[in-house]
Chain A
Amino acid sequence: MSLVIESVAKKFDRFPALKGVSFTAPKGCFLALLGPSGSGKTTLLRILGGLEFADVGHIDFEGLDWLALPARERRAGFVFQQYALFRHMTVAKNIAFGLSIRPRKTRPTRAEIARRVEELLSLVQLDGLGKRFPSQLSGGQRQRVALARALAIEPRMLLLDEPFGALDAKVRKDLRHWLRGLHERLGLTTVFVTHDQDEALELADLVAVMNQGKIEQIATPAELRANPATPFVADFLGQAPGGPGIVPIRTAVPKPSSHRFNEGSYTAR
């Protein structure tokens, strides 16, 4: 087991965002944090990235005391929901950022950085767009630039915050398959946050269903479908307890209005 999370809790003022979360995930797995908004999934992801600090708890990753490392030393590639590309830099400079800010001793040469950027551009299928600015790209392209930028630092783990949230349904479907393929090629431990159960079940090796700051169930997609542990999980996955074929009860799932209605999300299995 390579990612071990032990009773991590976090409060914002009085609001408990995480109420003691524990689970383990194997190295190289593709883990989805699935839950409605306010369930604490993004908070957990940001704690993993070092952008938020846990009040209590312990995280071990590949033998490292993960929470003791400051964000800049974790080498956790973080892909933000709104991409957070550096708007004043070209795509190539964005991707090169993580390498070019290294101290002189560990910084690759200029030529080496340029080569890496070309490599990553072709990995994310954006060959030839290095000279563009982020504002000149489509949403799907920006998303892939953000991913390339995160991959440039040879991250220990990849963290994706609602990676497809701001994209339209068609692009989302395409990127999903592409991302799964990429994960299989790179073998990086990847954690991604989503409120879309289709996305989680289709993409992930392991799905952690979260609700109100707690993990309701963590299991493989197949097991989640077959044996939802709690009524919440069954409800959220669109299945009543007791197996498929029963009319789903979907009233309890809040969907942020900023996201497009994704057909398929509400259909019964």
Chain B
Amino acid sequence: MRNILRPRAATDDHPLVKITLAVIAIGFLILFLFMPLLTVFSEALAQGWKMAWDALIEPDAVAAIKLTLLVAAIAVPANMIFGLAASWCIAKFDFRGKNLLITLIDIPFSVSPVVSGLVFVLIFGLQGWMGQWLRDNDMKIIFALPGIVLATIFVTFPFVARELIPLMIDQGRDEEEAAVSLGASGFSTFFRVTLPNIKWALLYGVLLCNARAMGEFGAVSVVSGHIRGLTNTMPLHVEVLYNDYQYVGAFAVASLLALLALVTLTLKSLLEWRFAGEIAASSRH
């Protein structure tokens, strides 16, 4: 065992400083990350596995789970494509209004999700701009699946693009130019040079996007209408149950939601560990 009191590098601080900082960081993690997570799981199982399980297979809960997965299954691929297209434009081409585009991509991060939900109600709602036309054509967006998907796409839009833009700018256009000078078409340049170089960042962005898409509350809450068994996603279902004093049910669904997020993160770490060499090769040059 090495002596932790002996400095190992010129930039090392005093051991007391190191220990204090470590204690603060770990304490913070426990207090704000592990404790809440633990509470969620322990509350869910407070009255035994049976009760928690029953809360999950109850029809409204199943509908909420299905809806959440469906929304994520639509929103995440859509944002993967949008994000990829936007970052590709920004990183590989020069054009007027590029900075404006970058700012626009960030809007969902800076606007409150409730406001963005309201925007969709104002556009597609019954009293909204397109309300009359939508009703005449028998289309329903607000208080239905399309509205929830739209709101989710809006809120999770920046995740993929934000991951990709800095990396793609950093990688520059050299490899694409090389590919073209070797006779590659735009199509094969993209799929054989650009995409492989960014696949890890893309995956990371997609996973983050997915976690947020499943967990989004504010914007979805505004456009969904909280129709039980129909337009309630998992986060909304948790709220409904909690307000009904059905704590076991609320925490059981919350646990499942947390579990989905943990699976996502584990997946990411596993992939990173498995392909560590390749990831290092694509970020170095």
Residues of A participating in the B interface, judged by any CB pair closer than 8 Å = 49-51, 71-78, 80, 82, 84-89, 97-98, 101-102, 133-135, 149-150, 152-153
Contacts and interface: CB of A to CB of B under 8 A. Distances in A.
A43 to B, nearest CB: 14
Given A82-B285, A97-B192, A101-B188, 15 more contacts: A50-B181, A51-B181, A72-B183, A72-B184, A77-B181, A78-B177, A78-B178, A78-B181, A87-B281, A88-B197, A98-B182, A101-B185, A135-B281, A149-B178, A153-B183
A88 B201 CA distance: 14
B13 interface: no
A72 B180 CA distance: 5
Contacts of A78: 177-178, 181
Contact of B175 (A72, A73, A75, A84): A84
Interface in B185-217: 185, 188, 192-193, 196-197
A97 B196 contact: no
Contacts of A86: 175, 178-179, 193, 196-197
Nearest to A97: B182
B178 A84 contact: yes
Nearest to B284: A135
A35 B188 CA distance: 36
Contacts of A153: 182-183
Nearest to A149: B182
Interface residues of B, number: 22
B183 A88 contact: no
Contacts of A50: 180-181
A149 B280 CA distance: 23
Contact of B285 (A87, A98, A149): A87
A88 B282 contact: yes
A51 B183 CA distance: 12
Contacts of A71: 180-181
Contacts of A150: 181-182
A237 B149 CA distance: 67
Contacts of A82: 174, 285
B276 to A, nearest CB: 13
Interface in B159-184: 174-175, 177-184
Contacts of B175: 84-87
B278 interface: yes
B98 to A, nearest CB: 15
A85 B177 CA distance: 11
Contact of A88 (B179, B182, B196): B196
A176 B175 CA distance: 24
B37 to A, nearest CB: 36
A74 B196 CA distance: 26
B88 to A, nearest CB: 17
Contacts of A98: 182-184
19 contacts: A50-B181, A72-B184, A72-B185, A73-B183, A78-B177, A78-B181, A84-B174, A84-B178, A85-B175, A86-B193, A86-B197, A87-B197, A87-B285, A101-B179, A101-B182, A101-B192, A102-B183, A134-B281, A134-B285
The 5 closest A-B pairs by CB, nearest first: A84-B174, A98-B182, A78-B181, A84-B178, A88-B196
Contacts of B188: 101
A74, A75, A98: most-surrounded residue (chain B CB, <10 A): A98
Nearest to B192: A101
A45 B280 CA distance: 32
A49 B285 contact: no
Given A87-B281, A87-B284, A135-B285, A97 B179 contact: yes
A135 B282 CA distance: 9
A89 B185 CA distance: 18
Nearest to B178: A84
A75 to B, nearest CB: 7
Contacts of B181: 49-51, 71-72, 74, 76-78, 150
**Of B185, B193, B278, which is in contact with the most chain A CB atoms at under 10 Å from its CB?**
B193
A97 B184 contact: yes
A71 B179 CA distance: 10
Nearest to B185: A72
Given A97-B182, A97-B184, A153-B182, A84 B281 contact: no
Nearest to B197: A88
B86 to A, nearest CB: 22
